[in-house]
Amino acid sequence: AGIFLRCWAGARAGVRIVSPPFGRLAAEQMARDGHLREVHSRIIANAEEIAFYQGHTVEETILTRAYNALAQQANLIYRARLGYVMLEQFFMKYVWSAMGMCMVAIPALTTGARDTISQRTESYMVSRNLLTSASDAIERILSSYKEVTELAGYTHRVSEMLKVFDDVCDGRSHIVPALAAQPSIKPEEGDVI
């Protein structure tokens, strides 16, 4: 059991070293998704002004850039996840299978001539069942690691949002609404064409 735990710890350390920062990547994707929603909301809120001043090409460019940034981040996450899952599956399929064969073979090879066939079969079946249970548990641990790091990214974004709320409540931050920042035309002002 000691050699098995050492190999598991070594494999886990190796996977952790090459693991991409899923939490940071998820937080960045959420930020880009939020920016895309902000651009959409701004277009909806200012649709008349955009049409009046013929600013559709500028707004389309801004919207396209926001979408492309989000798509680029999503592709980056998918590529990183693909490499990580390939490495993880390699460890589970080959490294753990080799370790399992060693664990199953040790009781069969170390038994003396005094053991009967039924005793050897019993020890083989016990070892095989333990190996199956251990491999299932290790697979769940490895797959839950990336989910936990993604959750860390989400919680980081939520904590940033709560800090902004606290700053606004304490008066340390000043937020200018998108509609208030735009100059408005009043009916009394300007020339009628």
pLDDT at position 174 is 58
138 Cβ contact list (under 8 Å, min separation 6): 8, 92, 96
pLDDT at position 6 is 77
Closest CA to 76 of 21, 35, 130, 114: 21
Interval 46-71: pLDDT, tens: 888 888 888 889 999 999 999 999 99
pLDDT band at 185 (very low <50, low <70, confident <90, very high): very low
63 Cβ contact list (under 8 Å, min separation 6): 36, 39, 40, 43
Interval 99-143: pLDDT, tens: 777 777 776 667 666 677 777 777 777 877 877 777 777 777 777
Task: Answer whether 0.85 is exceeded by the pTM.
Answer: no
Kindly give the interhelix angle for 22-45 and 56-90, rounded to the nearest 10 degrees: 160
What's the mean pLDDT when you consider all of the chain? 78
Give the amino acid at 175. I
Contact (Cβ atoms closer than 8 angstroms) between residue 40 and residue 32? no
pLDDT at position 192 is 44
Q: In this structure, what are the phi and psi dihedrals at residue 50, rounded to the nearest 5 degrees?
A: -65, -45
